[in-house]
Amino acid sequence: MRASRMMMSFDPKTLPCAHRVRLCHKAKLSHLPGRLLRNQTLSRQPTKQDLFCVMATGDHLFAVPVDGSEFNAIEHEIESVMKPYVRNMLMSPHTCDKEKIRLIYLLISLAISHYFEDEIEEILSKAFGKLEGLISKEDDLETISTMFEVFRLYGHKMSCDVFERFRGEHDGKFKESVVRDVRGMLQLYQASYLKTKDENIIEEARSFTRTHLAAVTSTTQPHLSKHIQNALYIPRYHCVEIAVAREYISFYEQEQDHEENLLKFAKLNFSYCQLHYVKELKDVTTWWKELDLASKLPNTFRDRNVEIYFGMMGIYFEPRYSLARVIGTKISMIMTVVDDTYDAYGTLPEVISFTDALQRWDIETIEDLPNYMQIIFRTLWEIMQDIEREMSSLGRTGGLQPTIDEIKSLTKKGYLEIAKWARATKL
């Protein structure tokens, strides 16, 4: 969603981990025998088994067909049928603000709110201006928690004092009526992850609701119980948005009062996203194979295209951010090779020289680097040039300089320092 998304350049090191999937972690130099670290170099080149396990490469996706006509059919139905229907629901003068906020929460949960950013901003700005009147007599925990969650997601800092009404006047503890409101507790638990510093009541609410939600999973409806267990396993706002939506679609479908067209819209959008993801991952995998670094370099490096792409989905899941996902994945994949060079293969003098070359960012001044480092530098440089040309063709010039600056900083202050520590046996 536009209001809560962080404006950021492509940071090649800040990728979230896959939900409930054990990823292959990079081996640390400190895990290798000390004899391999003497004299600022490795006495032998580590094998693939020494350093890295086999990664998912995405090759299996080549067997998955991506039909352009299916793209067009889904897009047409979304644009001509689904969006007008939901827009009318949102902007109806006969719908009260609380109902609209509840609808916005559903749109967020079903991963279709991005189609209505302007409408949502307008609704919430007006509603927040008369917030006191909306909540003054409201004593339903689910309603208050939903409003708190939605307003905060869109940058409106609704005060946490609103939850004081659910605590006893004398002991300050949450009332017994809260424990009986399972859906209200779940909503409050999820909203608690949008707290800011020193909001003690929200911290208490999280602990309280977590304890009591765990206790009721065996006595609630099966689909609600599963939904609660998922929320307790990984908090909603610690997970990839489209993965949350997949789970919520299943939950919402089993709700007796679900709105059929909203459910259909969510399923269409999820299929539309999937088509984009498969196509993009196939394109990235093909591009990586065509680079063919495996045959050009003497060492084994990690192939992490699926893992890295999943991380990019965590930042930009919407179909419109296709180019951002692809660019971010490409940069992060080549930076993985750079990272492995610092961690496992280069001598300290070599990685110092490589860092200096990166700071200069001049393809004409790399002749003193070892041959394999020249290949890595040239590949990184050419990738950035290709991306710059692609961005320029879209009328977006100069947008990669922050990313190049980040690469320079990351290698000098991060990779190089770690390499020095490792070779000094401090890791």
Provide DSSP, 406-426: HHHHIIIIIIHHHHHHHHTT-
Taking residue 69's Cβ as centre, other Cβ atoms within 10 Å add up to 7
Let me know whether 206 and 323 are in one domain: no
- In Å, how far are 101, 124, 137, 138, 376 from 131, measured between CA atoms? 12, 10, 11, 11, 56
Q: Nearest CA to 410 among 390, 371, 380, 385?
A: 380
> Do 194 and 75 belong to one domain?
yes
Q: In 264-406, where do the E strands start and end?
A: none
Average pLDDT, the chain: 86
Domain shared by 326 and 263, yes or no: no
**Whole-angstrom distance, CA of residue 96 vs CA of residue 15:** 40
In 10 A of CB 413, how many CB atoms? Answer: 11
Given a contact cutoff of 8 angstroms between Cβ atoms, the answer to whether 354 and 373 are in contact is yes
Give me the domain span that covers residue 339: 29-54+292-423
- In a 13 Å sphere around the CA of 298, the CA atoms on its Cβ side amount to 11
Rounded to whole angstroms, how far apart are CA atoms 215 and 186? 12
Q: Do 126 and 160 share a structural domain? A: yes
**Measured CA distances, 182 to 144, 186, 224, 388 (Å):** 14, 6, 9, 52
Looking at the structure, tell me whether residues 240 and 311 fall in a common domain. Answer: no
351 within a domain of the structure (yes/no): yes
Cα distances (angstroms) measured from residue 92 to each of 86, 99, 147, 223: 10, 11, 19, 31
Mean pLDDT confidence for 289-315: 90
DSSP string, 255-298: STT--HHHHHHHHHHHHHHHHHHHHHHHHHHHHHHHH-HHHHSS
Please choose, from the candidates 340, 325, 338, 320, the residue with its C-alpha nearest in 3D space to the C-alpha of residue 282: 325
Domain assignment of residue 165, yes or no: yes
The pLDDT of residue 58 is 61
Q: Which CATH number covers residue 363?
A: 1.10.600.10
Mean pLDDT of 224-249: 96
What's the pLDDT score for residue 54? 47
SS3 of 400, please? coil
Residue where one domain finishes, among candidates 267, 284, 313: 267
Which of 267, 302, 325 is the endpoint of a domain? Answer: 267
Indicate if the pLDDT at residue 35 is higher than 80.
Answer: no
Is residue 275 a part of any domain in this protein? Answer: no
> pTM of the predicted model, to two decimals?
0.83
Q: What is the pLDDT of residue 5?
A: 43
Rounded average pLDDT over 202-224 = 96
3-state secondary structure of 389: helix
281 located within any domain: no
Q: Is residue 219 domain-shared with residue 339, that is, in the same domain?
A: no
Q: Based on the structure, what is the number of domains in the chain? A: 2
10 has pLDDT over 60: no
What is the predicted pLDDT for the residue at 307?
92
What confidence tens digit (pLDDT) does each residue in 182-191 have?
A: 999 999 999 9
In a domain, 285, yes or no: no
Those residues whose C-beta lies under 8 Å from the C-beta of residue 224, and which sit 6 or more positions away, are 182, 183, 251
Percentage of the chain with pLDDT > 90?
75
State pLDDT tens for residues 317-361: 999 999 999 999 999 999 999 999 999 899 999 999 999 999 999
Residue 101 sits in the same domain as residue 243: yes
Same domain, 246 and 103: yes
Contact 58, 333 (CB under 8 A): no
pLDDT at 56 (0 to 100): 58
Q: How many CB atoms lie within 10 A of CB 196?
A: 9
Q: 151-182: per-residue pLDDT in tens?
A: 999 999 999 999 999 998 888 899 999 999 99
> How many C-beta neighbours within 10 Å does residue 148 have?
26
Distance (Å, rounded) from C-alpha 398 to C-alpha 408?
A: 17
Residue 272 domain-assigned (yes or no): no
Same-domain check for residues 79 and 40:
no
Residue 110 in contact with residue 245, Cβ under 8 Å?
A: yes
Whole-angstrom Cα distance, residue 276 to residue 209?
A: 38
As a whole number of angstroms, the distance between CA 269 and CA 266 comes to: 5
Q: Give the CATH number of the domain where residue 171 resides.
A: 1.50.10.130
14 found inside a domain: no
d(CA 286, CA 207): 47
Same domain, 222 and 334: no
Are residues 179 and 146 part of one domain? Answer: yes
Residue 280 belongs to some domain of the structure: no
Which of 267, 301, 320 is the last residue in one of the domains? 267
Say yes or no: 77 and 211 in one domain.
yes
- Give the residue with greater pLDDT, 207 vs 43: 207
Q: Which long-range contacts (CB under 8 A, 24 or more apart) does 189-194 make?
A: 189/213, 189/231, 189/232, 190/145, 190/149, 190/231, 190/235, 190/236, 190/237, 191/145, 191/146, 191/148, 191/149, 191/152, 193/235, 193/236, 193/237, 193/238, 194/148, 194/149, 194/152, 194/153, 194/237
Q: What is the dihedral sign for C-alpha 193, 195, 196, 197?
A: negative
Contact 335, 12 (CB under 8 A): yes
What are the φ/ψ torsions at residue 167 (nearest 5 degrees)?
Answer: -115, 150
* Mean pLDDT across 423-427: 73
- Residue whose C-alpha is closest to residue 379's, from 144, 387, 69, 6: 387
